[in-house]
Each structure stands twice: as C-alpha cells, then as structure tokens.
Amino acid sequence: MLSTIRLFVSLTVSFFILAAGAWAASTLSSHAAAENTNVSAGLTLQVTDIRNDKGKIIVLVFDDAAAFQSDDVNKAVAYQEVNAAQGTLEIDFANLTEGPYAVSLFHDENGDYDFNMVDGYPLEGYGISGASGPLDEPDFQKAAVTLGTVTIRVFYLDS
C-alpha cells in the first residue's frame, strides 16, 4: 500500500518535471532573443495574387473591432495607397508597433478611391487578414495579426 502511494507520487512528480522542462525549453528560442533586439519592428504586408498593374492597392489597418467591422476610413490607425503591381507587393507599416491589428484592402483598378460593387457583388479585388477564402468575412478576433510579416491574398470575383 505504502509502496503504491510512493509509486503514484513519484510518477506525478515525474510528469510535473516533464511539463516544466518542456515549458522551459519552449521559452529558449533564438526567435525570442532576436525579438528583443529587433529595431525594425512593425507590420509588413505581403499582398499576393494582384492581377494587373492598373490603379492602386488601398490598405486600411484597424486596431478597433467596431471600426474594422464597418470599414470606417476615419477610424483606421493606418492608411496607405500603393501603385498596383502584378503579382506580389510588399507594404510596410513601420510605425505600427503594438497590435493586434486587422487589415482590409482592395485593388482600386479604376482609381476612383471607391470599392466598386454592382448589386453587392464586388467588381474589384479585395483581401482581409485572416480570411481563408473569398467568401470568408472574419471578425476582428480572427482577422487580428500581430507584428511581423503577414500575407494577404487578393481575391477577384468578376473574373
């Protein structure tokens, strides 16, 4: 009986040591060490699948769920318009240093600064951080990204 208790306690202690050791090991990464010394912190977007060079890519970054949900330009924490280039475009937000952020962008091909739609059907390409596909409209929680490089794919529904 006593030896059974002793065995049980020994096994419990062992599992605790295993968990503590694995947790300690998970904190010991070169990534964590590099983060502390990294001076060029910020948000970098890799915008992929841009179909042509026409017009601009217009990007809105939000740090607020309500503003993100309503796509309110006036409440965005950052805004950039970049000349479109077919393929992949890298867009830096070096001054964004906190987060989490949600990103919403569209490809303004005709240059009218508006996301053109017909009967609620988009005529221009668009992309949202954290979206799994063209019909995915993630909420702020799902769209939220922290600092580093984030890939956003542009979807076109009219082609």
Q: What's the distance, CA 114 to chain centroid?
A: 23
CA-wise closest residue to 144 among 94, 92, 98, 80: 98
Report if residue 10 touches another protein, rule: CB under 8 A. Answer: yes
* Binding segment toward another protein, per CB under 8 A, in 16-24, 46-54, 87-95, 132-140: 16-24
Does residue 106 contact residue 112 with C-beta atoms inside 8 Å?
Answer: no
Report if residue 8 touches another protein, rule: CB under 8 A. Answer: no
Burial class (CB in 10 A: 0-12, 13-18, 19+), 150: middle
Report if residue 31 touches another protein, rule: CB under 8 A. Answer: yes
Name the residue nearer to another protein (CB basis): 33 or 123.
Answer: 33
Among 8, 12, 18, 73, binds another protein (CB under 8 A): 18
Q: How far is 48 from 152, CA to CA, in rounded Å?
A: 6
Number of residues that bind another protein (CB under 8 A): 19
Site residues, another protein (CB under 8 A) = 6, 10-11, 13-14, 17-19, 21-26, 28-31, 33
